[in-house]
Structure 1
Amino acid sequence: MTLIEIIFILTGTCAVLVFGGKLVCLLMMLVPKLFCPLPETFFTSLGKWAVVTGGSDGIGRAYAEELSKLGMSVIIISRNQEKLDRAARKIELTTGREVKVIAADFTKDDIYGHIQENIEGLEIGILVNNVGILPSQIPCKLLETSDLEERIHDVINCNVKAMVKMCRTVLPGMQQRGRGVILNVSSGIAKIPCPIYTLYAASKVFVERFSQGLQAEYKSRGIIIQTVAPFGVSTAMTGHQKPDMVTFTPEEFVRNSLKYLKAGDQTYGSVTHTILVMTSMAGRDCAVHSHLGPAE
């Protein structure tokens, strides 16, 4: 066998492995019950309580409602007491599950003692780190952001520090019991450079890298740590876009994404959003190669 033949065989084998892997991933997305099934008692076996940050509205509220329907009591944390109470009443009436509320502004530095006091001694099976903010409601370049210094502080506190501190708060109990789930909500735009969303996108890259490292550290202790990275979801942050084939309601997205809890350390929550990520990354690679040009 000549060297050229060996090269062709190796190249073909690599191609088959790459595309085979992508096919398996796609099949997992299409038939999660077959590839990553969850027992009916999975959620309640983790512990009595689920904690959801940013839980009074949007994706966070949808997580609280869905986890309640799956048999868990929930603690929702957000800064607006009125919205928290309204969300709690609805969940209790709809599901009959117990709901606790904690009013806390995650842009502030001195809230975690208060949170710790309110969840002390509770068996927390799931933590959903959902809370997050944009630097500006109207996308703009970094230096054009109003009150830039304040916004930098708020985004880092809310999108980055809150996740780390909440993990620090609940992980000891999960580690002691040998079970638990932490879902860290990122964004599909973390996969590509995103001008005019630069600070927000960068904060979501941190969410992904932190989550991947933490999963490697604690997977052997029976804890699932997964990044959830949606693209279009109709929430206040996205201007309540009209739901369609690409943009989901929060309830649709959460219900679907929970099917992929055992599908790996990251999920995009749906086949549609997975395809969007793959397309975006392919476009990014093409743009990079075009920018670099031919080697000299």
Structure 2
Amino acid sequence: MTPTEIIFMLAGTCTVMFFGVKLLGLVMMLAPKLCYPLPVSFFTSLGKWAVVTGGSDGIGRAYAQELSKHGMNVIIISRNQEKLDRAARNIELSTGTQVKVITADFTKDDMYGHIMKSLEDLDIGILVNNVGILPSHVPCRLLETADLEKKIYDVINCNVKAMVKMCRIVLPGMQERGRGVILNVSSGIAKIPCPMYTLYAASKVFVERFSKGLQAEYKSKGIIIQWLHSGFQHQ
């Protein structure tokens, strides 16, 4: 075998191995339950309770339902009492776990004391920061947003401040117990500049950067902090 043939053979082998690893990674990503199985007791080992903001419908409700299926009691927080009560009844009937509700409008500033008191002394293992709003469902330039001053205030309060404040409330207990998971729901729209949804997209970029920094700070404490780039959802 000539040196040229050897070089081509090695190059071909490396190419096959490279794409083989890529293919394996893709398979593992598409079948996480098969490739990364969790112990049955994983969720309940983190704590007795999970807290989900924006948990009355959509992605938040789906998380609350799934965590309940894994044996966790759930606290769902949102601003609509009727939706909260309906979601709580359905989850309790289908899973047999306990569901508490907290009514709170995250566009406001005056309800965190109430939330903190309601969560006091609970063994919270998981926090899902899902709540979020769009300034306008119809794409538009920033200055064309109806009631812009209020929308700026509401989006920052709901999409940014709420996540930070909920981490502030729940994280000390997780740190003390040396365990816990925080999942912050961002959006795929945060991955690229998004004209016509500029304010919303920027708020979701904050979610990702905040989550990455917080994970670096608290990973050594036994706390997992992740962020999710979700697709479109109506809230």
Is TM > 0.5 for Structure 1 vs Structure 2?
A: yes
Question: Number of residues paired by the alignment?
Answer: 223
- SS at the partner of 1:236? coil
- How far 1:226 sits from its partner (Å)? 0.5
Q: How does 1:257-276 map to 2 (within 5 A)?
A: none
Which position in structure 2 is the counterpart of 1:236? 234
- Residue-by-residue CA offset, 1:189-241 (whole Å, 9 max, x unaligned): 10011111111011000000000010111111111100011224xx434xxxx
Query: Which residues in structure 2 correspond to 1:129-144 (within 5 Å)?
Result: 129-144=129-144
Structure 2 counterpart of 1:133, one-letter code = I
CA distance in 1, matches of 2:176, 2:135: 37
The 1-side partners of 2:219 and 2:141 are apart by 39
The equivalent residue for 2:127 is 127
- Please give the alpha-carbon distance, in whole angstroms, between the structure 2 residues aligned to 1:217 and 1:16: 39
Q: 1:113 to 1:96 in 2, by over 3 A?
A: same
Q: 1:219 to 1:151 in 2, by over 3 A?
A: same
- Looking at structure 2, the residues matched to 21 and 143 of structure 1 have their Cα atoms a distance apart, in angstroms, of 48
1:25 Cα deviation after fit: 4.2
Describe how 1:1-296 pairs up with structure 2 within 5 A.
Answer: 23=23, 25-33=25-33, 35-232=35-232, 235-237=233-235
Greater mean alpha carbon deviation, residues 121-130 or residues 218-227: 218-227
How many percent of aligned residue pairs carry the same amino acid? Answer: 78
| Amino acid in structure 2 at the alignment position of 1:191 | K
List runs of 5+ in structure 1 lacking aligned partners.
1-14, 238-296
Question: Normalising by structure 1, what TM-score?
Answer: 0.71
Instruction: Give, in angstroms, the shift of residue 37 of structure 1.
Output: 2.6
Q: Secondary structure at the residue paired with 1:183?
A: strand
CA pair 110-27 structure 1, distance change in 2 beyond 3 A? same
Instruction: Specify the code of the residue in structure 2 equivalent to 1:39.
Output: P
Q: What letter matches 2:58 in structure 1?
A: G
In structure 1, distance between residues paired with 2:38 and 2:96: 23
Task: Indicate how the Cα distance of structure 1 residues 33 and 236 shifts in structure 2: closer, same or farther if over 3 A, else same.
Answer: closer
TM-aligned CA distance change 1:231 to 1:22, over 3 Å: farther
Q: TM-score with structure 2 length normalisation?
A: 0.89
- SS at structure 2 position matched to 1:38: coil
Query: Deviation digits for residues 157-205 of structure 1, max 9, x if unmatched?
Result: 0000000000011011111111100000000110011111111011000
Amino acid of the structure 2 residue aligned with 1:135: P
State the alpha-carbon separation in 2 of the partners of residues 134 and 185 from structure 1: 14
Q: Considering only aligned residues, what root-mean-square deviation do their CA atoms show, in Å? A: 2.1
Cα deviation for residue 26 of structure 1 reads: 2.2
Distance 1:16 1:79, change over 3 A: farther
The structural deviation recorded for 1:82 is 1.1
Gaps of 5+ in 2: 1-14
Q: Deviations over 1:16-66 (max 9, x none)?
A: 999787556423312323543311110011000000000001110111111
